[in-house]
């Protein structure tokens, strides 16, 4: 979808964009192609797209995937998408009756435009939707140009546990992308890095200049590619991992041992650090993912049920 088409569409529908919904639409064909390439789609893939907007990414995903589930909060854009793709609005996308347009009121050949059979459009707040309807996303890929204001909570919500998508290709603020890709010792390394990297391996990223969006945002963006990894932690230690990471980064410049002792017995914490050959003065920003994983196992064994969140 070209910039001129976007402008025409918005003018035709009388839509004034809403800044608080992060409505910056990607019109650069080259960047859109790179995003789709990073998704490595096959004809069997099911794709979750959060915030389809006017559909510049959606239109590239649809011919390459078995199914696209698109969740858009703005009713005006839902109406545009519905018209553009002759899409069916899915009240409950798990309803099998909606898996085919004929079953959900789509029009057939000879009766006007044919519905896009592999698009399910949901009008909802994506974060509410994900929290309200926890489902198994493990057979899915997330491919989205995410709304800035909710990008981090959406990724943190989706990324955790056995039900997370197999791949997440997300376009977001450059600053958030750096946090997702960060390594120990870097200033961007923190809670979001570890919560996401526990289950996802960073597989590269590229910068997308602000000029590729309409309207042009104040900051550059980046597309990150995260691929699901084999589980590093048993389910029973996950709560401890989240609690430890949040506590350890609650005051970045403080010694991690001191902070953890607020929630775990001092001798248990000291013993765990010794076993991991971590200095008693280590700060969270220098501790690797693997060390946090082992720390969680040790502390969880010593004090089960202490999530400390």
**Positions 12 through 71 that interact with ligand SAM (CB under 6 A):** 21-26, 50-53, 56-57, 71
CB of 227 to ligand SAM, least distance (A): 21
Biggest CA pair distance of the chain? 76
How far apart, in Å, are the Cα atoms of 267 and each of 249, 250, 277, 283? 21, 21, 15, 18
Which is nearer to ligand SAM, 57 or 269 (by Cβ)? 57
93 lines the binding site for ligand SAM (CB under 6 A): no
CB of 73 to ligand SAM, least distance (A): 4
205 lines the binding site for ligand SAM (CB under 6 A): no
Cβ(237)–Cβ(198) below 8 Å: no
Cβ(210)–Cβ(218) below 8 Å: yes
Tell me the pairing of strands 221-228 and 200-208: antiparallel
CA 283 to chain centre: 28
Among 28, 40, 59, 125, binds ligand SAM (CB under 6 A): 125
What is the torsion angle, in degrees rounded to the nearest 10, for the CA atoms of residue 244, residue 245, residue 250 and residue 254? 80
Q: Of the candidates 224, 299, 227, which has an alpha carbon nearest to the alpha carbon of residue 257? A: 299
CB of 26 to ligand SAM, least distance (A): 4
Which is nearer to ligand SAM, 25 or 264 (by Cβ)? 25
Which is nearer to ligand SAM, 171 or 296 (by Cβ)? 171
Which is nearer to ligand SAM, 71 or 245 (by Cβ)? 71
CB of 274 to ligand SAM, least distance (A): 45
CB of 261 to ligand SAM, least distance (A): 38
What span, in angstroms and rounded, lies between the C-alpha atoms of 16 and 132?
30
CA 24 to chain centre: 17
CB of 138 to ligand SAM, least distance (A): 22
126 lines the binding site for ligand SAM (CB under 6 A): yes
Using CB under 6 A as the criterion, what x/- string covers residues 131-150 for binding ligand SAM?
--------------x-x--x
Cβ(157)–Cβ(132) below 8 Å: no
**Positions 249 through 288 that interact with ligand SAM (CB under 6 A):** none
Identify the three-state secondary structure at position 203: strand
Which is nearer to ligand SAM, 87 or 295 (by Cβ)? 87
User: How many chain residues interact with ligand SAM (CB under 6 A)?
Assistant: 23
172 lines the binding site for ligand SAM (CB under 6 A): no
CB of 74 to ligand SAM, least distance (A): 4
Q: Which residue is nearest to ligand SAM (CB)?
A: 51
What span, in angstroms and rounded, lies between the C-alpha atoms of 284 and 287?
5
How far apart, in Å, are the Cα atoms of 149 and each of 29, 252, 273? 24, 24, 37
Question: Which residues pair with residue 200 across a beta bridge?
Answer: 228
CB of 142 to ligand SAM, least distance (A): 12
Residues that bind ligand SAM (CB under 6 A): 21-26, 50-53, 56-57, 71-74, 77, 125-127, 145, 147, 150
């Amino acid at each position: 979808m070209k910039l001129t088409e976007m402008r025409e569409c918005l003018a035709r529908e009388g839509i004034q964009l809403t800044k608080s919904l992060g409505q910056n639409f990607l019109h650069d064909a080259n960047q859109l192609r790179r995003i789709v390439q990073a998704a490595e789609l096959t004809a069997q893939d099911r794709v979750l797209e959060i915030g389809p907007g006017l559909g510049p990414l959606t239109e590239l995903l649809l011919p390459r995937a078995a199914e696209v589930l698109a969740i858009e909060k703005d009713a005006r854009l839902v109406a545009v998408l519905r018209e553009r793709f002759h899409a069916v609005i899915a009240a409950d996308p798990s309803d099998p009756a909606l898996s085919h347009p004929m079953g959900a009121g789509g029009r057939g050949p000879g009766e006007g435009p044919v519905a896009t059979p592999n698009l399910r459009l949901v009008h909802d707040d994506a974060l509410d939707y994900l929290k309200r309807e926890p489902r198994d996303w493990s057979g899915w890929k997330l491919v989205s140009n995410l709304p800035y204001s909710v990008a981090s909570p959406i990724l943190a919500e989706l990324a955790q546990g056995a039900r997370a998508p197999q791949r997440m290709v997300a376009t977001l603020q450059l600053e958030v992308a750096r946090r997702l890709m960060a390594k120990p010792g870097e200033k961007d390394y923190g809670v979001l890095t570890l919560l996401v990297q526990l289950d996802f391996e960073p597989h590269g990223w590229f910068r997308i200049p602000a000029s590729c969006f309409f309207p042009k945002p104040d900051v550059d963006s980046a597309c990150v590619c995260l691929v699901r990894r084999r589980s590093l932690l048993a389910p029973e230690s996950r709560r401890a991992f989240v609690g430890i990471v949040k506590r350890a980064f609650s005051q970045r410049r403080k010694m991690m041992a001191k902070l953890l002792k607020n929630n775990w017995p001092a001798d248990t914490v000291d013993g765990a650090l010794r076993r991991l050959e971590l200095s008693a003065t280590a700060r969270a920003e220098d501790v690797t993912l693997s060390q946090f994983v082992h720390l969680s196992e040790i502390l969880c064994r010593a004090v089960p049920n202490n999530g400390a969140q």
